[in-house]
Chains A and B, each alone.
Chain A
Amino acid sequence: MIRSRPSKDPTVPRTPAALAWQRLRADRTGMAAGVVVCAFFLLGLCAPLISAIYGKNPYTTYGQNEPGLLDEFGYPTGSMGGISGRFWLGLEPGLGRDVFTQLLYGIRTSLLISAVVVLIVTVLGTAVGLIAGYAGGWLDAGLGRIVDIALSFPSTLFIIAFVPVVQSLFVSADQQTPTWMRVTTLVVVLAAFGWAPVARLLRGQVVSLRTREFVEAARIGGASPIRIVRRELLPNLWTPILVSASLSVPVYVTTEAALSFLGAGIDEPTPDWGRMIHRGAEVYLSDITYMLIPGVAILIFVVAFNLLGDSVRDALSPSGR
């Protein structure tokens, strides 16, 4: 008889994944948040397509090229920051670039960076957590201290000071700093600090699991440490890993925005939400729309992602409610 296939038949037991999926589907908030999150990913993925149909790009300075779109002080003419049938979310004060496409491409910047960081942080953190938790002894103690140091480091200050130094090291004074290098630097420094909390979380879980009977049984049965980790421990760790990963994405989106806000993130002309918000904070007296649009966008994204993360956690471990 074939076991463990998900089935509506109540007599057949369901897999934990199927149960979790069922619980998630029943959670309306979670589903709504999921739809919003998917929409953001879709918008980011399809940004070039959408902007081709829409007929604008985030780099052209429409306001400076065409007289009449900006007033003499550099602010969009017309109400609401220049929102019109032609520019759906208005124009950026000063350069007069299109806000809608800036926002779309900004999603790509934010999501790309945070997704890569989360991937690295999760893989690295899980590996360190497993090794420290399962090996114990001096290895655990040594890794534990490294985690302590990484956690206690003033990471934001470090990043702000470090990013320009790295870039001047690798790029000669008369060459353009490539955008990929900016992105890579950001990913590396964010990941360098981000793995520590994941490692600590996972280590705790592993320590509590490794003395359980099924692990003992496997060990007595002669299983190799690698097999124990892969077949006995890891399957029991998917819940904390998934939950921490899904809650980390919005954290890194806001961190990246904050770094750009502080001038250590992605620079012109690559569209970026943090920089848009920074500029918005400078011009809010004359053009509040330009601050509200990226502000509201990042708010919706972060709230939706957090709600989704909560729902995933609830669905995976209902007892944790």
Chain B
Amino acid sequence: MPISVSASTSISRSRRRSRSALAIAVLGTLAVTAACSSSAAEKSGSGDPAAAGTVAKQAVALGTAADSQGPDPAVPGAKSGGTVTVLEQSDFSHLDPARVWSSANQTADLLLTRQLTSYQQVGNTTKLVGDLATDTGTSSDGKTWTYHLKDGLKYEDGSTITAQDVKYGIERTFQKELSGGPQYLQMWLTGKTDYSSTYSGPWGGQDLPQIETPDAKTIVFHLASVHADFPFALAMQAYSPLPKDKDTKSALDQHPFSSGPYKVDSHDVDKGMVLSRNAYWDPKTDPVRHAYPDGWTFEFGAQAVDINQRLIAANGPDKDAMTFKVTIGSDLAAQVNSSPDLKARLVNEVTPFSEFYNINTRRVTDPKVRQALLEAFPRAQTRQLLGGPVYGDFTNTILSPVTDGYQNYDLYNVPDTGDPEKAKALLATTSNPHPTIVYAYQDDTAWQQGAVAIQQALQKAGFNVVTKAISTKNYLDQTQKVDNQYDLYWGGWGPDWPSASSVIPPLFDGRQITDGGGNNSLLNDPAVNAEIDRIEAMTDLKAQDTAWAALDKKIMQEVPIIPWVDPRQVSLYGPGLGGVHTGFIGTCYPLDVYVK
């Protein structure tokens, strides 16, 4: 999923996502899906505020039918009861599952919706398991997928969740009015990127023939092409069930009809929201969700700095408060680091997102010059301006460590502070040892200072550097234009599931280059495109993962991007809570939280 630009000058990360499936979001970081936490190789920076970096990397395996039975294994020490307060800067832009794609919205819908499949996190192990379905799906050819629903699945009004409801929920995502959600299933089912020309949604009374529901508990998908990772795509909140008679259309966005463990009691847009238990939700059918608190109270509209101060003070009900996505900035890092009390209630884990600097391969056509840019680039200096180790962990790869098949490698072996001498030597072998590089950045303090650091570092290697500020609001639009006039610009990406098939094709398939798309290095290499086609046609997930990792390395030989950091989610929570950690979405994960 794309990454969003931070709206403010602070280091807080916003995770808005733009509407296009391939859009990227910028500065801040963003949203996601992949799996558990992990420690990326961190070459420098000894002092994380909390000892988070020790979790082992873990691929997300497909669980068995036995894994898919509920209930979710209990969190040690957890007990039921109490109310959790969640403090956020802004209201969730969407709660209607069909429109949910940003990390914040997805996190909220974890409490309110269920899907055919979902991720079960136990300790450091994450598995994809059947959620509404009895398993992760069966297919003989990667095109036709069959699911069976469990018994005892109920909505908030006590009615039964049926296969027809699942189908209707997916049909709704075709409806043009319900914009903002991901588009994977729509494209895969119809085989077209402009899927609404084939099917325009259920509101006009049409039926989507590619999904069959022979009975109330069986659902069969007929895809247009092979997608071995189909079970992962189904785990996205956008593909949740909804009974046709409960489709309140646009009103559903504020008040979704719950299939999950909680339901919306009241929602005062932009101010607050109250959730209480869905009495009909049966934990024995649900292998991925705990529902320890009796209720959730959301408060929207405060500044990040105020939210952090409230979490530090933890007065009254704030004792049981947390935040899904507000991070501490570098200004609080030192205070948190020196206080054992605060350190004890800090989430500090790597998210599935990646941030990197795109090199415009249409303007900087010589791979040697691109390699020199990578070698001279001040990765550590720019990270320090955004908070240093609390901002993220350095990476040298395209794929993030939470992606299945991820293999660590370091093709160029340069220090994080850059190696201007090495870059200079490389530039000397090209036709122009002093190329001009236009660096575009968003116009706020941290990035202005980053431009100073980048300019100085690249100049040391012999580059002429032109810096161009773009207003934060326009940054993504400008840098995502195919005919942009910049050579180097920041970008980011979060996979929608822990597979490289939601990373490499959107970022490096030359045929997907469009304004507002994800391929902002504008790399269009026929060999890479052909390899993407070959891998996507594989039916074996394991073989696919291995092939993606090899392609990752191959693409990096052309240096279309300068890999930078895998951002961290570093957030405080109240001392009255337990079980707070990040989930596969990258935000603080609500489903294991309990009130002590």
Contacts and interface: CB of A to CB of B under 8 A. Distances in A.
Contact of B452 (A172, A173, A268): A268
Interface stretch (B23-31, B78-86, B231-239, B325-333): B325-333
Contacts of B438: 173-174
A112 B438 CA distance: 29
Contacts of A286: 330-335
A72 B451 contact: no
B466 A61 contact: no
B388 A74 contact: yes
B453 A61 contact: yes
Interface residues of A, number: 29
A267 B469 contact: yes
B332 to A, nearest CB: 6
B485 A74 contact: no
Contact of B387 (A70, A73, A278): A73
Contact of B385 (A94, A175, A176): A94
A282 B390 CA distance: 17
B485 A72 contact: no
Interface string A277-321: 011001111100000000000000000000000000000000000
B389 A73 contact: yes
A75 interface: yes
Contacts, number: 88
A210 to B, nearest CB: 50
B381 A64 contact: yes
Interface residues of B, number: 40
A72 B46 contact: yes
A268 B447 CA distance: 10
Given A64-B381, A267-B448, A176 B466 contact: yes
B443 A263 contact: yes
Contacts of A61: 381, 452-453, 456
A174 B485 contact: yes
B152 to A, nearest CB: 51
A275 B452 CA distance: 14
A131 to B, nearest CB: 40
A6 interface: no
Contact of A268 (B331, B451, B466): B451
B471 interface: yes
Given A95-B385, A95-B453, A72 B45 contact: yes
A73 B469 CA distance: 25
B9 interface: yes
Contacts of A222: none
B468 interface: yes
B85 to A, nearest CB: 23
B179 interface: no
26 contacts: A61-B381, A72-B46, A72-B388, A73-B387, A74-B330, A74-B384, A94-B385, A172-B485, A173-B486, A174-B438, A176-B466, A267-B448, A267-B469, A268-B449, A268-B452, A269-B452, A269-B455, A279-B449, A282-B9, A282-B10, A283-B330, A283-B331, A284-B331, A285-B305, A286-B330, A286-B334
Given A173-B485, A268-B467, A282-B445, 12 more contacts: A61-B381, A71-B334, A73-B387, A75-B334, A94-B384, A94-B449, A95-B385, A176-B466, A263-B443, A268-B449, A282-B9, A285-B305
What 9 A-B pairs come out closest when comparing CB atoms?
A: A173-B485, A285-B331, A176-B466, A74-B384, A73-B330, A73-B333, A286-B331, A94-B385, A174-B438
